[in-house]
């Protein structure tokens, strides 16, 4: 695919790949994936709908949500161009490999491991973790420590399941909240950007059935804390 000029790219979403079935791109931090109660226009979903309609108000073209990223999280997102493609990707989501970079406070005792719990969301949109199988949906997060500094640790995370706020809740539950996470961690006047980035995704293409992989570069503020060959 030819590189799409920046002026045609939806603001806050750099398109990395587009074909007849898919649009794959890098979401900027601070941009919503889909509409929320407080915002329904400045979302990746809405901007991509406008993009595929190419300014034609009568067009019914639209894109379909396959998965989501938290507003403060940056990185790879996939959108489908048809409902059939959306269903195929969701039906095969267990075979999709989702890799994240996360910077957390402190040093984990175990340098690699798996965090497993059941997650529920309350009326204030806060997600809670429990060991009770009757209380929530199973969430599994695998992690490996890549590098440590005096105060922080860089982790590579494999998201086995994809539940809302999963990585943030799991790591906070281990006593190592993400840097910049005021929702589940601690407020900071110096580190306001959430250090969570969806860096790579590998999946089976719905048409060719070939495995495909795409990467999105980390935001600059990751390197301001930990220099690494991301």
State how far the Cα of 44 lies from the Cα of 54, in Å rounded to an integer. 15
Give per-residue pLDDT as tens, 81-110.
999 999 999 999 999 999 999 999 999 999
Q: What's residue 189's pLDDT?
A: 59
Q: What's residue 7's pLDDT?
A: 63
E-strand stretches of the chain: 13-18, 22-27, 64-65, 74-80, 97-105, 112-121, 127-130, 137-148, 152-159, 196-204, 211-215
Closest CA to 165 of 72, 30, 27, 38: 72
pTM, to two decimals: 0.91
Which candidate in 19, 21, 70, 132 is catalytic?
70
Provide φ and ψ at 79, rounded to 5°. -125, 145
At residue 22 the predicted structure's pLDDT band, cuts being 50, 70 and 90, is very high
- Matching residue, tokens 């209380």: 135
The rounded mean pLDDT for the chain is 92
Give per-residue pLDDT as tens, 116-174.
999 999 988 899 999 988 889 999 999 999 999 999 999 999 999 989 999 999 999 99
Q: Has 70 been annotated as catalytic?
A: yes
Query: What is the β-pairing status of strands 22-27 and 64-65?
Result: unpaired
Q: What's residue 221's pLDDT?
A: 94
């Amino acid at each position: 695919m030819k590189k799409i000029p920046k002026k045609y790219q939806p603001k806050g979403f750099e398109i990395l790949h587009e074909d007849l079935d898919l649009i794959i791109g890098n979401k900027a931090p601070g941009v919503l994936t889909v509409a929320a109660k407080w915002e329904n226009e400045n979302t990746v979903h809405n901007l991509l709908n406008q993009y595929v309609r190419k300014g034609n108000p009568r067009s019914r073209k639209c894109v379909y949500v396959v998965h989501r990223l938290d507003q403060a999280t940056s990185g790879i997102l996939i959108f489908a161009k048809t409902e059939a493609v959306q269903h195929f990707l969701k039906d095969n989501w267990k075979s999709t490999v989702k890799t994240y970079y996360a910077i957390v406070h402190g040093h984990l005792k175990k340098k690699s491991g798996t965090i497993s719990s059941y997650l529920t969301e309350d009326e204030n949109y806060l997600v809670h973790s429990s060991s009770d199988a009757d209380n929530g949906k199973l969430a599994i997060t695998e992690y490996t420590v890549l590098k440590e500094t005096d105060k922080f640790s860089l982790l590579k995370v494999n998201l086995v399941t994809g539940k809302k706020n999963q990585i943030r809740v799991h790591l906070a539950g281990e006593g190592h909240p993400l840097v910049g996470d005021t929702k589940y961690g601690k407020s900071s006047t110096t580190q306001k950007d959430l250090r969570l980035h969806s860096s790579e995704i590998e999946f089976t293409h719905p048409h060719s059935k070939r495995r495909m992989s795409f990467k999105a570069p980390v935001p600059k503020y990751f390197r301001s804390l930990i220099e690494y060959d991301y």
